[in-house]
Chain A
Amino acid sequence: MTTATSRLSAPSATAATGRPRRRLTPARRWTLRLASVAAILLVWEIYGQLLNPILLSSPTAVVAAGFDMIADGSLPQALGDSLVVLGLGLTFGVIIGVVLGLLAGRSEALAALLEFPVNALYATPAVALIPIIVLWFGFETTAKVVVVFLFVVFPVFINTMRGVHEVDPELVEVARTFCSNERRMWADLILPSALPYIVTGIRIAIGRALIGVIVAEYYTALSGLGLLIARSANSFQTARMFVPIVVIALLGVVLTALLEWLEHRLARWRETPS
């Protein structure tokens, strides 16, 4: 009965909330995506040309500076240094965040144990912890990786734990009536349910990891892209300063796209209309 009534009332509900949402075609969506980028670049170019190049510079100048920095080797070198820190911090943070999140999601005792420390550390700006990190881990790669790790691990942990909690209790009953063991329960039920939450956690983590890299490079021994930004800014080479910033932004876009691609591969069942 409920099915019949909800089906009957469906059209009027759309009418009440206004026009139905029209889905964009892929071509249109890409046009809009690129249009926003083009608009920003255009405004920047025009405004940048009007101002003193030290204040804003312009996209064409930044691109030229980018080629210079590739040619003189400073950009590849810095990017390589930063990617090592980013890669290690992000990997450790995601792995430990996911594993702890899954375990804490299944064990109330572990969740209770971790609750206060995690909330406290999550709320503490990681920047504030840098002096102590430096004391323990020095100024070099290890310390930087630890900073990125701290930026990454909490959102992944919290989202993963949430995902495990969101498992449909009815499906848990199905697993129980068919006498599923705990190991199968993970494969059939818990991991697939938690996957969207884990992905959300990682998506947030990517953004925070990029912040973490630059923060680490500023506040420990200056290095990588952070060093390039600081050095170019100190010598008023604004165009060169923007190059690593653009590179970081591109990294964010690429990593997020990679994650989305991976999610689509893992969760093909969700792309079908319901």
Chain B
Amino acid sequence: MTSPHLVLDGVSVVLGGTLILDHVSLAVAEREFVCVIGTSGGGKTTLLRAIAGLLPTTTGSVSLAGTPVLAPTARTAMVFQHFALFPWKTVRANVEYGLRVQGRSEALGRVQRLLDALHIGDVADLYPAQLSGGMRQRVGIARALAVEPELLLLDEPFSSVDAITREKLEDEVLGLWERHQRMTALLVTHDIDEAILMADRIIVISGPPGRITFELPIGLPRPRSTQEIRSHEDYPRIRKLLWDSLEHRDVRLPELT
């Protein structure tokens, strides 16, 4: 086995005097898709922000391909929960953004392919305000993929779109990842089904303060789709395991306080 791509070693984060993450250690292999689930306020997003280098760790370290992450790096790209598109840039300019800031204009040729792959080629000249939530997040995903990151971070990327669009987007993004650009990926979600669909491995974080309380490899065959996964014979068992792991914390909580 090769050395892991992303390593978190005893990461704690204190924000405003509150312990948000408590000694989180995690190793993610190259091209592995890890989903982090947990209830709201459990420190999932903080974990992602620490990995992105947006937030200094109080103790412990984050390293990507052997290099400590102390600030955001061009090797990581992030998809934001609320899209965070530039309202004054067209769809195309938003997708090109990362490449332009990083001075990689020679790679702009791939933008059109990405726009087409995510079905936003027809709206490339529109502004975000003219798009639906689902379309906006397609732009957010294309923007992150355009820089061909080694590590893709997704912060509840589908939680702000409606249920039907959400399922379609999950399948499409998964398909893109499985068939084209298999980079290391870390997706934060509070949706168990989404996590099972996407992940090679699921990490359950319970908090506050956020700790890893459960870990489950998902060995379901790829390529996957929502329909196939849900009718897989192991699906109910995996789902129950994860539910129980989340429940367990809720049961334990009164004793802690």
Contact = CB atoms under 8 A, between A and B. Distances in A.
Nearest to A180: B101
Contact of B84 (A1, A171, A188, A267): A171
Grouping DSSP codes into helix (H, G, I), strand (E, B) and loop, the A interface class, with mixed when no group exceeds half, is helix
Contacts of A178: 72, 74, 77, 97-98, 101-102, 147
Interface in A249-274: 267, 269-270, 272-274
A29 interface: no
A106 interface: no
A3 interface: yes
Contacts of B100: 184
Contact of B129 (A3, A4, A184, A269): A269
A2 interface: yes
A207 interface: no
Contact of B52 (A3, A177, A269): A177
Contacts of B126: 272
Contacts of B77: 177-178
A170 interface: yes
Interface string A149-187: 000000000000000000010110111111111001000
Interface stretch (B155-163, B198-206, B228-236): B155-163
A87 interface: no
A173 B84 contact: yes
A179 B129 contact: no
Contacts, number: 75
Nearest to B161: A3
B177 interface: no
Range of interface residues on A (Cβ < 8 Å): 20 to 34
A181 B101 CA distance: 8
Interface string B11-47: 0000000000000000000000000000000000000
- Chain B contact surface mostly: loop
A262 to B, nearest CB: 15
B88 A267 contact: yes
A181 B163 CA distance: 37
Contacts of B74: 178-179
Nearest to A4: B162
B104 to A, nearest CB: 11
Contacts of A192: 86, 88
Contacts of B133: 3
Contact of A273 (B78, B88, B129): B129
A269 B84 contact: no
A267 B129 CA distance: 13
A215 interface: no
Contacts of A170: 80, 82, 84
A177 B160 contact: no
B59 interface: no
Contacts of B87: 269-270
A189 interface: yes
B24 to A, nearest CB: 20
Contacts of B163: 4
Contacts of A274: 129-130
Nearest to A175: B101
* Residue in A174, A181, A269 whose Cβ sees the most chain B Cβ within 10 Å: A174
Interface in B53-75: 53-54, 72-74
Interface string B79-92: 01010101111100
Contact of B160 (A3, A168, A272): A3
B189 interface: no
A170 B128 CA distance: 15
A179 B97 CA distance: 11
B129 A177 contact: no
Contacts of B147: 178
B160 A179 contact: no
B169 to A, nearest CB: 13
Interface of A: 1-4, 7, 168, 170-171, 173-181, 184, 188-189, 192, 267, 269-270, 272-274
26 contacts: A2-B160, A3-B133, A3-B161, A3-B162, A171-B84, A173-B54, A174-B80, A175-B101, A177-B52, A177-B54, A177-B72, A177-B76, A177-B77, A178-B74, A178-B98, A179-B73, A179-B74, A188-B97, A192-B86, A192-B88, A267-B88, A269-B88, A269-B89, A269-B129, A272-B127, A273-B129
Closest 6 CB pairs of A and B: A274-B129, A269-B127, A192-B88, A180-B101, A170-B84, A178-B98
